[in-house]
Every structure is written in structure tokens, then in C-alpha cells.
Amino acid sequence: MALPVRIKESVSRALAKAGMGTCIVQATPVGGGCINKGSRIQTNSGTILFLKWNPSGPPGMFEAEADGLRALRRADALRVPEPIGWHDHGSGESWLLLEHVSKGSASRETDARLALGLVAIHSHGSDEGFGWHRDNWIGSLPQGNQAKNNWGHFWRDQRIGAQLEIARSQGRLSDAFFDRVLEITPNALEDVEQAGLLHGDLWGGNWFTSDSGEPALIDPAVYYGHGEVDLAMSELFGGFGSDFYDAYKENCGISNAYSAYRRDLYQLYYLLVHVNLFGASYEAQSMQAAQRILAELGA
């Protein structure tokens, strides 16, 4: 899909303001995204940048993403592209301009380096509880982040419950065992007391090896929560080697509860997101995860 004229004009104004040229001379589509479009752009000054854009993106979506990228960059643990500028106030000109990070080849150490960086990111805690200072998005769906001191209540209300409400408004997932999962979530997570910085959407498509050999993170949905959430998402669709999990466990630890039921409880959120984004093909996985949680907890 060609870069729309209005987006080219809007980005060109931002480039001029940033001293990176006055216009785009080349835009090469980059695949991989299912919500937004991506292009590698070159300006008339020779600068190479990455542009994400969406002709109908919700207001504030790219601003929230830039905010999350800045938070991950402040952790100074993994390569994260620098946000250059953005515009997403409606009117069909939603875009996010980023530092371009070229892809390279992974080495035997890449997965372990990714895990060590993730441990460092998760070690950045919050004095304000679980959540974030603003709401953001998971894919194109709103993600509420109102801070709570109780992790179980946060996960029940702003993750599982919020997505279940959307699904049921569309006539999906009316089974009573989902309500039972909501009831038992606070007790199932009652021992989680420390909030750490999360990527929030850590599937295999949201990290890559840079041309300098560093693991790089993209497309976050950040907030403060339990680090095992990122682990659970990483296992849902693959893309992470055994060295990644071994290094994470060695340097941070993974609870016994994770393999028993928390992986399912955390993955259930992302499965419900996929039900709401992509439809019925994810309903069976959502129901199976919920049933495994209840069976393990005797509920």
C-alpha cells in the first residue's frame, strides 16, 4: 500500500522541524504488522527512518506507543528504537516516526542476552502500584492501566474482565467458567507484590536481532506488572529459544505457580484479545486455558 499523500506531507513537516530533511524521497513497504502499516523511508538529506502509519488509527495510539518506547529506553537494558515524532489526533494522518534499526543475524548468545535484558527491564519497579500513568493499546484495542496496589484485582478487572466484556458484547464466550476464573484470580495472584516494568506484548514478532547483534524490542504495550506476564506471552506463539527461558530462570527465577496455572491465566488475556481482534478461531484456546486454570486450582 502506497504511503498516503497526507501522511507524507505531515511527516515531511516533522522531518523539517527535526532537521532531518524536508521531504521523503523513498518509501519502501515493510511487512509484518497486522494492525498498522510500516515503511522504511529515506529523506532528501539521506536519513533513513522507520515509519508506522494507520489511515484510521485511534487518537493517542502512537503517542502512547512512543511513551512506552521511551520507558523501555530509560531502562537501558536492550536496544529500543528512539521515537522521533508522531501524529495521531485523527483526520487520517496517524503515524509514528522511529529510528531505523537494521536487522542482523542471531548468534548462540542472542536468546540469553534477550533474557538478561528482560530481567533488567522487569527490575525497574514502581512506587505507584500495578498499572501505568496512562491507558494505551494492545493491538488496536484499548488497554486500561488505572493503578492498583493489588495485582490480582488489576489482572481481574483491567485485563481478563475488560476483554471478556468486549467479547460478550459481541455474543461470544458466555460460558460460566469464565466468570469463575474472574472470581478466583485475586487469590491465585495474591503473593505477587512487586510491580516491574513490562514490555506488555512480547511475542516473537516484537523482537529481533539488530545489525550490531543486540536483541531489539519494538511495539510495546507497557505498564507495571508481574514479569511472568511477558514470559507467558512469549510462549503463546513461539519465537524464543530454550536458552532464553534458561537464562531468565537462572537470573530471576520462575515460580512453580507459573507452570501450574499462571501461564494459562496470563495467556488468557492475550487469547481474549485475539478473540476480539480476529474472531472465533481463538475461542477454543481461550476456553481450554480457562478450564485448565480451574482444574489446577480445584475451582
> Which active-site residues does the annotation give?
201
Cα-Cα-Cα-Cα dihedral sign, residues 90, 136, 269, 199: positive
Please count the CA atoms within 13 angstroms of the CA of 125 that sit on its side-chain side: 7
Integer Cα distance of 96 and 115 in angstroms: 27
Hey, how many other C-beta atoms are within 10 angstroms of the C-beta on 115? 25
Please spell the DSSP secondary structure of the chain, one letter per residue. -PPPHHHHHHHHHHHHHHTS-SSEEEEEE----SSSEEEEEEETT--EEEEEEETTPPTTHHHHHHHHHHHHHHHTSSB-PPEEEEE-SSTT-EEEEEE---B----TTHHHHHHHHHHHHHT-B-SS-BB-SS-EEETTEEE----BS-HHHHIIIIIIHHHHHHHHHTT----HHHHHHHHHHHHHTTT----EEE-S---GGGEEEBTTS-EEE-S---EEE-THHHHHHHHHS----HHHHHHHHHHT---HHIIIIIHHHHHHHHHHHHHHHH-GGGHHHHHHHHHHHHHHHT-
